[in-house]
Structure 1
Amino acid sequence: MMEVKKRSTPILPWMRSPIDVSLFEDCPLNLVPCLDPRLEAALEKMAISSLFPVQVAVWQETIGPGAFERDLCINSPTGSGKTLAYALPIVQKLSTRSVKCLRALVVLPTRDLALQVKEVFAAIAPAVGLSVGLAVGQSSIADEIAELIKRPKLEVGMCCDPEDVTFELQSSVDILVATPGRLMDHINSTKGFTLEHLCYLVVDETDRLLRESYQSWLPTVLQLTQSNNESLFPLANLFCSSTFGSLKTIRRSGVERGFKGKSHPRLVKMVLSATLTQDPSKLSQLNLHHPLLLTTGKRRYQLPEKLESYKLICEPNLRPLYLVALLQELGEEKCIVFTSSTESTHRLCTLLNLFGDLSIKIKEYSGLQPQSLRSKTLKSFREGKVQVLVCSDAMTRGMDVEGVRNVINYDMPAYIKTYIHRAGRTARAGQAGRCFTLLHKHEVKRFKKMLLKADNDSVPHYSVPSSSIESLRDAYNSALGKLKETVESEASRKRKSGFKFSKLSKAKATGHQKR
């Protein structure tokens, strides 16, 4: 009987010859060619003294010999510095033009990640006279419009219908960081909001943004920008070329073939992820212009260099006890605990806080919570007032908190991509970190098979003393009883609030019909 081979996804030709970021080295700021002195000063205020390898590689392809000749696809481990890798060259490029209009758009899948990226841009853009806007639904759309759109000043005594001055509305920002949903709101309904001057589009966490349609934001943006393909960029930064001699320059033969004497694309795209998809059908949605892949090493899936991974085998039905025992051993070190869903996150966090005095502060960080509460919790975590965050996978991407020493997988991730994004919350920016995964015996084989995809074939056991488990049993049984009461109470409140909402909606509908 013939063996049927599983068909593999074809790899696009341009992905077969990437630039290896690992061949680059850190570069002190004073040696970065062409770096604007104002940006150098801004980076130093951020306590940044040198650029990481991925930042150096991207700088070369944007400001250096590459000069944005090609769209860039960046596949680099979490915590390697991808945000600054695209923020810095974009800000430097835009600083040479004095006209105020929206020229760079950065799209991210979650509000929390967008807030974080906006902070990076806001730390460097004002140094060169650029302003950064945010469109994520954190505030009302009216407040966002007031921030993004500059209304014309009318002379004293002049009366004018707002409908007649639409053409005079101008952008108040040069760079916009947005989530897809709120971006579409502004595209569809905000007068004066336009992408006609857009020069740069950054798609961060690309694999997730391509997997979920988000109101067809991508084809909409591309359609609005492709109609005008006039060149906005000089063919090359010739004055910079010679200064790149002090920086290791790694280019392959043929990179510049076909570009001499031709104009640049109207819209330059940069797409990034720690687990960049190789699916041609998904990548084709981006309409990339002669794309260039920058990646770390030859492996598709990369774990942080200084990450230590451990597995902790748990007895059936006692996983919470092992987690508590582990947290007690870790003391006040910052930890992020990941579960498989928002519901599990809420239940686990509630249970942990019913254990009694654990001498550590534990908070939930969930998509079920309002943004204001999440921001407050994250601030407390950053400041060390909270030692443990319990999260679901929706919170994994890009979240950057300094000093996170440990990541704990309370529920084993189903995919290697998920493991990489979870583990990437620690061991960031060259720091050390640990990732613990709690497993039942029947999960061990599947866990090992999953990590082999990242060439990690040896994950040592981590054990907690059995005496620690036994000493927690009484507290655990008590906490389980309280958890049941809490869950029932919450369910009752939801039913009552739902009933009130239903009655109110019905009353409004009836009143409307009567009118």
Structure 2
Amino acid sequence: MAEESATEQKKGKKNTPVLPWMRDPIDITVYDSFPLNSLPFLDPRLEEPLRKMGINSLFPVQVAVWQETIGPGSFERDLCINSPTGSGKTLAYALPIVQMLSTRTVKCLRALVVLPTRDLALQVKDIFAALAPAVGLSVGLAVGQSSIADEISELIDQPKLEAGLCYDSEDFPQELRSAVDILVATPGRLMDHVNNTKGFTLEHLCYLVVDETDRLLREAYQSWLPNVLRLAYSWNQSPFPFANNYIPPTFGSLKTIRRFGVERGFKGKPHPRLVKMVLSATLTQDPSKLAQLDLHHPLFLTTGKTRYQLPEQLKSFKVICESKLKPLYLLALLETLQGEKCIVFTSSVESTHRLCTLLNHFGDIQIKIKEYSRLQRQSIRSKTLRAFRAGDVQVLISSDAMTRGMDVEGIKNVINYDMPAFIKTYVHRAGRTARAGQTGRCFTLLPKGEVKRFKKLLQKAGNESCPEYSVPSESVESLHSMYSSALERLKESIESEEYKNRKANAKRPGAIRKKDNVF
């Protein structure tokens, strides 16, 4: 997947922010970690679930966002957060949103978090679900993991009718209401509910989080963003914004800002704006893309002076190898890592499948290797991820589509089987390790002809040193005898799969093969 446009590559896009508000950012690195028991204004009900999550103090990005939301910043400005992967961005927005909504008594959808992939949305939903019940809030999920009917039953409250009474639909219209306060969604399924689900509304939305912003802005996804903004803003433009028994949120000391001016007859009354928080480890600086978000006096929070930030405790290495023998170098490298948790990244889902199949055809390998790809059903991916987290699987082989936001404790190593084409891809891949202040290593397999290009790639992230990691030549040699046999078995496996696919398609004459879609 091209992470940067060809135009940007040709121009050699500079790191200097082009928007005025990006020229004077808040430096997250000046903040220290902050003990939970001393955090000002924290709702006491949230302390216990935070500690159950293993959180005793907040990381710098979380402290900085808390300062600009619950602290003196009071959500007066929209926030744009550019912080390395693994720095704690999810909790940085989840905690203040849950706290702000904890005072509401009327249930309606007030916070929406949009993410590019189903797997990442599941992960974020778990964070919210760990916090929200403590303050009486409920969290919904709209990602297509279950049927649309099942999702509707979870998201919409259907009124219970009294037995024995006859209701005429005109005289007794059913009042459908949201069953959740917070919704975590992928854009495609979100638009399914916007367009087709009765009772689903964004008119009460107070908070919009766009996580992995650069990826979500790069593709349209059924024009989800302009539609969400239009629907969330529409009630503000109504001459009767508080009609239909809508109770506006009580912000307490928070100053409310009127985007469309003071409506007639409502001068001095609460008129909350839609607060936006956008986040990425590689936040775009393209004015035309950021303009789509319609940000309100945005505040830019970032780490360091360069756009591309690698985890502080990450060590990068290059492994020089022969192109034809890359699978052998990979296996030899995995053996030197002695069963540590690893993610191996390839350039495509097809390469992921073939590489995983090939490696599992080698005999006498004491390493459990699994594929993790959008070609698999969600249930298979979830099962694989659980086994990886539990340590039953030591190595996952994945494509870039699965990199963003994946948080698995204990990943010690990331291996680039295929060198990433762009520094943005490298940042997101490498960010699967060295998370939350832990140490980690990123290895990149490189034929000699790619070494110079790789060096230039890392320089864009301020990395001037990438030492070579030597894989024992005897380990590579010992695998030669099995390589030819593994290649033959791979060929047989692929031919068998193709035959099964042709046979399955033949049973459905005229049917169009359904494309895989994780959104």
Normalised by the length of structure 1, the TM-score is 0.90
Does residue 140 (structure 1) correspond to residue 147 (structure 2)? The answer is yes
Q: For residue 446 of structure 2, what is the aligned residue in structure 1?
A: 439
Does residue 83 (structure 1) correspond to residue 90 (structure 2)? The answer is yes
Per-residue deviation, residues 353-393 of structure 1 (Å, max 9, x unmatched): 00112111100000000101000000000000100000000
Does residue 227 (structure 1) correspond to residue 240 (structure 2)? The answer is no
Does residue 280 (structure 1) correspond to residue 287 (structure 2)? The answer is yes
Does residue 361 (structure 1) correspond to residue 368 (structure 2)? The answer is yes
Q: CA deviation at 1:496?
A: 1.3
Q: CA deviation at 1:167?
A: 5.0
Does residue 330 (structure 1) correspond to residue 337 (structure 2)? The answer is yes
Q: For residue 482 of structure 2, what is the aligned residue in structure 1?
A: 475
Select the structure that is richer in helix.
Answer: 1
| Aligned counterparts of 1:83 and 1:173: Cα–Cα separation in 2 | 19
Q: For residue 320 of structure 1, what is the aligned residue in structure 2?
A: 327
Does residue 308 (structure 1) correspond to residue 315 (structure 2)? The answer is yes
Q: CA deviation at 1:299?
A: 1.4
Residue identity opposite 1:361 in structure 2: K
Q: For residue 258 of structure 2, what is the aligned residue in structure 1?
A: none
Q: For residue 410 of structure 2, what is the aligned residue in structure 1?
A: 403
Q: For residue 40 of structure 1, what is the aligned residue in structure 2?
A: 47
- Is the partner of 2:86 in helix, strand or coil? coil
| Aligned counterparts of 1:426 and 1:336: Cα–Cα separation in 2 | 9
Per-residue deviation, residues 152-173 of structure 1 (Å, max 9, x unmatched): 0111212336787665111110
The number of equivalent residue pairs is: 480
Per-residue deviation, residues 1-50 of structure 1 (Å, max 9, x unmatched): xxxx9585771000000100000000000111000011111101111100
Q: Say whether the 8 Å CA contact 2:370–2:396 is kept in structure 1.
A: yes
Alignment partner of 1:60 out of 56, 59, 67 = 67
Residue identity opposite 1:25 in structure 2: D
Does residue 195 (structure 1) correspond to residue 202 (structure 2)? The answer is yes
Mapping of 1:350-429 within 5 angstroms?
A: 350-429=357-436
Q: CA deviation at 1:233?
A: 5.3
CA 102–493 in structure 1, closer or farther in 2 if over 3 Å, else same: same
- Is the partner of 2:216 in helix, strand or coil? helix
| Aligned counterparts of 1:140 and 1:304: Cα–Cα separation in 2 | 38
CA 459–163 in structure 1, closer or farther in 2 if over 3 Å, else same: farther
Q: CA deviation at 1:77?
A: 0.2
Per-residue deviation, residues 265-285 of structure 1 (Å, max 9, x unmatched): 520000000000000000000
| Aligned counterparts of 1:294 and 1:172: Cα–Cα separation in 2 | 34
Q: For residue 176 of structure 1, what is the aligned residue in structure 2?
A: 183
Q: Say whether the 8 Å CA contact 1:167–1:192 is kept in structure 2.
A: no
Q: For residue 208 of structure 1, what is the aligned residue in structure 2?
A: 215
Mapping of 1:483-494 within 5 angstroms?
A: 483-494=490-501
CA 164–147 in structure 1, closer or farther in 2 if over 3 Å, else same: farther
Alignment partner of 1:95 out of 95, 102, 112 = 102
| Aligned counterparts of 2:167 and 2:425: Cα–Cα separation in 1 | 55
Q: CA deviation at 1:466?
A: 0.9
Residue identity opposite 1:29 in structure 2: L
Residue identity opposite 2:466 in structure 1: V
CA 182–66 in structure 1, closer or farther in 2 if over 3 Å, else same: same
| Aligned counterparts of 2:448 and 2:60: Cα–Cα separation in 1 | 40
In angstroms, what is the RMSD of aligned CA positions? 1.9
Q: For residue 123 of structure 1, what is the aligned residue in structure 2?
A: 130
Residue identity opposite 1:487 in structure 2: I
Does residue 496 (structure 1) correspond to residue 503 (structure 2)? The answer is yes
Q: Say whether the 8 Å CA contact 2:159–2:174 is kept in structure 1.
A: no
CA 264–8 in structure 1, closer or farther in 2 if over 3 Å, else same: farther
- Is the partner of 2:324 in helix, strand or coil? coil
Alignment partner of 2:464 out of 457, 466, 473 = 457
| Aligned counterparts of 2:510 and 2:503: Cα–Cα separation in 1 | 11
Residue identity opposite 1:236 in structure 2: S
| Aligned counterparts of 2:402 and 2:300: Cα–Cα separation in 1 | 27
CA 165–284 in structure 1, closer or farther in 2 if over 3 Å, else same: farther
Q: CA deviation at 1:262?
A: 11
| Aligned counterparts of 1:87 and 1:485: Cα–Cα separation in 2 | 48
- Is the partner of 2:508 in helix, strand or coil? helix
CA 451–224 in structure 1, closer or farther in 2 if over 3 Å, else same: same
CA 117–218 in structure 1, closer or farther in 2 if over 3 Å, else same: same
Q: CA deviation at 1:503?
A: 5.7
Per-residue deviation, residues 410-461 of structure 1 (Å, max 9, x unmatched): 0000000000000000000010000000000110000000100000011000
Per-residue deviation, residues 447-485 of structure 1 (Å, max 9, x unmatched): 000100000011000011111111100111110111111
CA 351–224 in structure 1, closer or farther in 2 if over 3 Å, else same: same
Per-residue deviation, residues 47-91 of structure 1 (Å, max 9, x unmatched): 110000000000010001000000000000000000000000000
Q: Say whether the 8 Å CA contact 1:72–1:271 is kept in structure 2.
A: yes
| Aligned counterparts of 1:136 and 1:350: Cα–Cα separation in 2 | 29
Residue identity opposite 1:17 in structure 2: D
Q: CA deviation at 1:492?
A: 1.1
Q: Say whether the 8 Å CA contact 2:104–2:249 is kept in structure 1.
A: no
Q: CA deviation at 1:236?
A: 3.3
Q: Say whether the 8 Å CA contact 1:235–1:263 is kept in structure 2.
A: no
CA 17–431 in structure 1, closer or farther in 2 if over 3 Å, else same: same
Q: What residue ranges of structure 1 are gaps of 5+ in the alignment? A: 239-260, 506-515
Residue identity opposite 1:188 in structure 2: N
Q: What residue ranges of structure 2 are gaps of 5+ in the alignment? A: 1-9, 242-247, 256-267, 513-519
